[in-house]
Amino acid sequence: MIIGACFEGDDDEELMLYQHDCYYDSLRRWIRLAGEHHCKYRRLPEWEDISRQWDKFRESGYHDHRCIQAHHDLIAERFRMIQKNPDRFFWIILGKNGWCDFFISETAKFMNNPKTLRLLMSAVAYANTKAGYDAEDALLDKMRETYGMEKLNRVVAEDEVGIKS
């Protein structure tokens, strides 16, 4: 997680540090949740390729956290924004205590949609490849759209060697 202010008034450093400390556990939960949701689709022919790649990813026992870091950070930002403006969002969350529940709730919403589930799985399973970067971007765009934020603008090196700037 990258710690920093994302909007005017985003100054709760204690909460940011707490979110940072929970970062890897949060990502592991999100990946586990994706795997659970994937079970209902894995036998469908249109899911064959991603299911095979997901199985390879799971067997490796490793994932590059950076492929979903921006997505995590967007959810973390959303949580802090709600903390600062509870009346605007009609949501009551009790500081740090609500972060883990909020993260699980938000990721579950995205994983309930087969398209966003597939994007997350592709971002993770095809990490550091063009297919993975494309899935990362599409998922982040979908999340920003859901949250009413602007689209991501990613610049890729001309030779498409997988370097993101």
pTM over 0.85: no
SS3 letters for 99-154? HHHHHHHHHHHHHCCHHHHHHHHHHHHCCCCHHHHHHHHHHHHHHHHHCCCCCCCC
Question: Of the candidates 142, 140, 134, which has an alpha carbon nearest to the alpha carbon of residue 162?
Answer: 134
Inter-residue contact 33 to 111 (CB < 8 Å) = yes
- Residue 126's pLDDT is 95
- Residue 103's pLDDT is 93
- Residue 3's pLDDT is 82
Q: How many domains does one find in the chain?
A: 1
- Residue 11's pLDDT is 85
107 belongs to a structural domain: yes
27 belongs to a structural domain: yes
Radius of gyration of the chain from Cα atoms?
Answer: 16
82 belongs to a structural domain: yes
Per-residue pLDDT at 5 exceeds 50: yes
105 belongs to a structural domain: yes
153 belongs to a structural domain: no
**CA dist., res. 17 & res. 100, Å (int):** 13
Q: Give tens-digit pLDDT for 131-157.
A: 999 999 999 999 999 988 764 433 333
Specify the higher pLDDT residue, 71 or 5: 71
Section 119-138 average pLDDT: 96
The upper half-sphere exposure of residue 109, i.e. CA atoms within 13 Å in the direction of its Cβ, equals 10
Q: What is the signed CA dihedral for 103, 105, 106, 111, rounded to 10 degrees?
A: 120
- Residue 93's pLDDT is 58
Q: Give tens-digit pLDDT for 32-61.
A: 999 999 999 999 999 999 999 999 999 987
Question: Quick one: DSSP state of residue 47?
Answer: G
- Residue 142's pLDDT is 94
Q: Give tens-digit pLDDT for 72-100.
A: 999 999 988 888 876 665 555 566 678 88
94 belongs to a structural domain: yes
154 belongs to a structural domain: no
- Residue 153's pLDDT is 39
63 belongs to a structural domain: yes
pLDDT band at residue 128 under the 50/70/90 scheme: very high
